[in-house]
Amino acid sequence: MKNVVLSADGERSVYLVPDEAADNLEELASGPFYGWLENDPRAEKYRTEQGYCFDETAFIEYLAQRFPDTPARFVEALGIDFGAPLPGEYKSCPAFNF
């Protein structure tokens, strides 16, 4: 399990996710996740007439289905200050903003 920093144009949050998810964060978050949003019945709540409405917790829900034996978990919220550098312990973590 590895830390990642996720946000959806709001507060940045740290989650502990399976290694495979952290190592392929950009690919998963920009490809398969959107396929899940579009096609999976469990993602219907995120669909609107204009497209999708979600935050990073939808991605965590997707990861729970993709990696059921290693569930992701919330670590801490870092705040909304996008201009600020990440705290030292998270500087090398993969990050993605939806």
- HEC assignment per residue over 14-68: EEEECHHHHHCHHHHHHCHHHHHHHHCHHHHHHEECCEECCCHHHHHHHHHHHCC
Please state the pTM of the whole predicted model.
Answer: 0.90
Quote the domain boundaries for residue 85: 2-97
pLDDT > 80? residue 83: no
In angstroms, the CA 3 to CA 92 distance is 9
d(CA 98, CA 54): 9
When pLDDT is averaged across residues 47-70 and rounded to a whole number, the result is: 96
State the total domains in the chain: 1
Average pLDDT over residues 34-62: 95
4 close to 95: Cβ distance less than 8 angstroms: yes
Joined together, the tokens standing for residue 11 give 């507060």
Q: What pLDDT, on a 0 to 100 scale, did the predictor assign at position 4? A: 98
